[in-house]
Amino acid sequence: CKGINGLEKVVLREARGSSAEVYLYGGQVTSWKNDHGEELLFVSSKATFKPPKAIRGGIPICFPQFSSHGVLEQHGFARNRFWSIDTNPPPFPTSSSNKTFVDLLLKPSEEDAKIWPHSFEFRLRVALVPGGDLMLTSRIRNTDSKPFNFTFAYHTYFSVSDISEVRVEGLETLDYLDNLQNRARFTEQGDALTFESEVDKVYVSTPTKIAILDHEKKRTFVLRKDGLPDAVVWNPWDKKAKAMPDFGDDEYKHMLCVEAAAIEKPITLKPGEEWRGRQELSAVPSSYCSGQ
Ligand code: BG6
């Protein structure tokens, strides 16, 4: 159906009441609601929904380049291309029974081939699992006659009540590259991460499970990932927020990006090879997680 500015979107609804919205522009999830109808993702009130600008919020796909780690535009071009609905995707190795899902497809246009001269098929499945989990599976196939490399991220904007009350568990003691210090490498000290200023870090070789605890909402997001060794943590804080035209001045208090990614070691695909990267998000009442 039609979304903001007439852009096409797909709405997924699961029997128990959870839902998700996916824009064909960017192949981007812009809404994920639990079965009480509460929005779990952050989308800026200033997001423009106007190509060629990427939509500010939800889950932008960063491909074939994360950030400015290469010659392409920031975060690559997948997030500002029109994807199509894939009506006949090749079979998925995991069962899709009981899931509500949509399959999207991105293939490079002639213009894309000029800026990134590689032929590929990028299939994205967005699925709601009974109980309300949101699962994104990306399959990228090299349909070219030569190998190519890429970096990747699911740039997920979680909605949080108050950033100063949020903790992230699962990244403590790990190494990270600090984007605010020329990607210098440091080791995270101590306990769970908390936030009191701008953060823009790429944690490397992270565990498959990361938890984002929202103390005020008494909600924990659990991010599970597969094929995506790294994790970006980003919050622009007040100064950068003011500098972004499509982001409200105070909105940094109500969002946190935790991004399942493959950045430090780019993925190489030989002709005919396929790569798969999956992230599953759950939102559970915090008490259920205590002691984990
Ligand atoms: C994060 C990067 O993933 O995305 C940051 O680590 C960047 O460096 C942020 O500022 C937002 O990027 P953009 O292009 O959507 O403004």
Residue by residue, pLDDT tens for the chain (292 residues) are: 999 999 999 999 999 999 999 999 999 999 999 999 999 999 999 999 999 999 999 999 999 999 998 899 999 999 999 999 998 888 876 655 668 999 999 999 999 999 999 999 999 999 999 889 999 999 999 999 999 999 999 999 999 999 999 999 999 999 999 999 999 999 998 789 999 999 999 999 999 999 999 999 999 999 999 999 999 999 999 999 999 999 999 999 999 999 999 999 999 999 999 999 999 999 999 865 544 4
ipTM of the complex: 0.98
Q: What three-state secondary structure class fits 50?
A: coil
Amino acid at 281: L
Residue 156 dihedral angles phi and psi, to the nearest 5°:
-75, 125
Q: Do you know the residue count of the chain?
A: 292
Question: Which amino acid residue places its CA nearest to atom 2 of ligand 1?
Answer: 67
**Closest ligand 1 atom to the C-alpha of 155?**
3
Residue 92 dihedral angles phi and psi, to the nearest 5°:
-90, 140
- Single out the catalytic residue among 21, 69, 75, 155: 155
CA-closest candidate to residue 192, choices 167, 217, 216 = 167
| Residue that has been written with the tokens 């981007």 in this structure | 28
Does 155 qualify as catalytic in the annotation?
yes
**Ligand 1 lined by 75 (C-beta under 6 Å):** yes
CA-closest candidate to residue 94, choices 227, 189, 292 = 227
**Ligand 1 lined by 68 (C-beta under 6 Å):** no
User: 224: CA distance to ligand 1 center in Å?
Assistant: 21
What global pTM score does this model have?
A: 0.96
Domains of the chain with CATH codes: 4-289 (2.70.98.10)
**Ligand 1 lined by 234 (C-beta under 6 Å):** yes
